[in-house]
Amino acid sequence: MSDRKLAVVVLAAGKGSRMKSDLPKVLHPVAGRPMLGHVLASVATLAPAQCVVVVAPGMADVEAAAAPARCAVQSKPLGTGHAVAAARDALAPLLTEGGAELLVVFGDCPLMTSDTLQRLVAARRPAGAPEIVGLAFRPADPAAYGRVIVDEAGCIEKIVEFADADSAQRQIDLCNAGIVIGDAARLFALIERLGSHNAQGEYYLTDIFSLAHAEGRAAGVVECPAEEVLGVNSRADLALVEALMQQRLRGRAMAAGATLVDPATVWLSADTRLGRDVTVQPSVFFGPGVTVGDRVEIRSFCHLEGAEVGDDVVLGPFARLRPGAKLGRAAHVGNFVEIKNAELGEGAKANHLTYLGDATVGAAANVGAGTITCNYDGFLKHRTSIGAGAFIGSNTALVAPVTVGDGALVAAGSTITEDVPDDALAVGRSAQQNRDGAAARFRAERQAHKAAQPAPGKNKAS
């Protein structure tokens, strides 16, 4: 390995007009994370000395998503070559040091793996390795990708954009992934010489290959699986990339010891973490920020995001965990239970038709069916605290802020507005009255009244 410093430029200034969206293309999420985030995560595994993301003017949201990577602004979308040139000033200190390497990647290729990037870096390591190496792939349908033309020695002679290719060139199935690595000073020198006399009137980064070849300096090519470099240009591409990413994530979850009973129906986020011997039944959604411990059973139709699920928990069917939900070991959360910003202690149970928001539930507490924490007064959110071993009877409204002590009992149907001391029984409902014989008297009265009325429609002439 050489100790050359690596600079990375991520291109993300394209309009993405084929997405027909107000959101910049690279911010469209795949597996719950912006495409740019996937690319930056792969790049980070190379530990580059510097990473610069090229954005268009007014893309503050992309700049925020790129942080802590620096951004450079490409004033006009004049092509991929022009975009790399826009990063030059930001890289100036590294370039003056000399000997740095430059890797250019696209922000719209979220399936790119760090393995492939590492192979690309490695291709420049041997003595006498080419000064530029391009990444190529052979997709089932080469569509509108740039075509890579190699010479007899297997070196890149040129890359022809689809719009500029003749019909013979369009028959070539070796396509340009757009990712390039090379000596930084050399790449910038070639980029300075790019012209824009082509079908799209753009400064194509791809033209550096024909410039280098004309000088007799061969460029190398590394091939990678087609699915890694699918560029997202449209919503249909986005859906395809999402499907492939889901397959990858499901494969990883299963390899790590989770059973997905029907993998195709489980949707995972890029950061979903499932422990060993987790079983996920069909049709479960994991939004961003979910961590699941070992031996957890997640039954069908659960929806989780921003949640931490402890070991041995049983969840669902039809449970919803929203951000800040934290379930302790062996907690049980059943059907139609919604939990937000609330912690359940070890072995606590909320099994039916319940909303727990901004709450703490102690170990082994039992939250009865239909319990609601009334956490919002129209202006502010307030907390509910339920002690260890407490029992909340069915259909209880806990009006926050309120505390139910350890071991306390709340009678079913209560509306609790005052704190309940430890081990107390709280009854917060109107007292029941039984009036002997009243139901029978009521029926008799109604029947007498009915008999006195003329039967409707009976006496009409037929």
> Rule CB under 6 A: is residue 385 a binding residue for ligand UD1?
no
Q: What are phi and psi of 5, to 5 degrees?
A: -75, 140
- Does the protein bind Ca ion through residue 134 (CB under 5 A)? no
34, 110, 130, 178: which one binds ligand UD1 (CB under 6 A): 178
Q: Which of 385, 346, 351 lies closest to 368 in space, CA to CA?
A: 351
Per CB under 6 A, does 102 bind ligand UD1? no
User: What does DSSP say about strands 156-160 and 297-298: parallel, antiparallel, or unpaired?
Assistant: unpaired
| Sequential DSSP letters for 219-230 | BEEEE--GGGG-
Considering the rule CB under 6 A, would residue 161 count as an interface residue with ligand UD1?
A: yes
389 is a contact residue toward Ca ion (CB under 5 A): no
> Is residue 28 among the annotated active site residues?
no
Q: Select the span of 149-157, 175-183, 217-225, 241-249 touching ligand UD1 (CB under 6 A).
A: 175-183
Element (H, E) at 42: helix 35-44
Q: Does the protein bind ligand UD1 through residue 39 (CB under 6 A)? A: no
Burial tier of 149 (Cβ tally within 10 Å: 0-12, 13-18, 19+): middle
Position 38 contacts ligand UD1 (CB under 6 A): no
358 three-class SS: strand
Kindly tell me which residue out of 188, 204, 267, 286 binds ligand UD1, with binding defined by CB under 6 A. Answer: 204
**What is the total count of residues that contact ligand UD1 (CB under 6 A)?**
28
Query: Around Cβ 457, how many Cβ atoms within 10 Å?
Result: 6
* C-alpha closest to that of 328 among 369, 362, 290, 356: 362
Q: Which residues of 277-306 are buried (b: 16+ CB within 10 A; e: fewer)?
A: ebebbebbbbbbbbbbbbbbbbbebbbbbb
Which one of 38, 213, 352, 449 is the catalytic residue? 352
**Interface mask toward ligand UD1 for 120-149; x: CB under 6 A:** -------------------------xx---
Q: How far is the CB of 101 from Ca ion (least distance, A)?
A: 24
Q: Which does 300 bind (CB under 5 to 8 A by kind): Ca ion, ligand UD1, none?
A: none
Under rule CB under 5 A, residue 16 binds Ca ion: no
Distances in Å between the Cα of 412 and the Cα atoms of 331, 358, 374, 393, 416 are 22, 21, 16, 4, 11
Quick one: which of 24, 130, 182, 231 contacts Ca ion (CB under 5 A)?
231
Contact footprint for ligand UD1 (CB under 6 A): 11-14, 54, 74, 77-80, 82-83, 106-108, 145-146, 159, 161, 175-178, 204-206, 231, 233
Residues forming the site for Ca ion (CB under 5 A): 231, 233
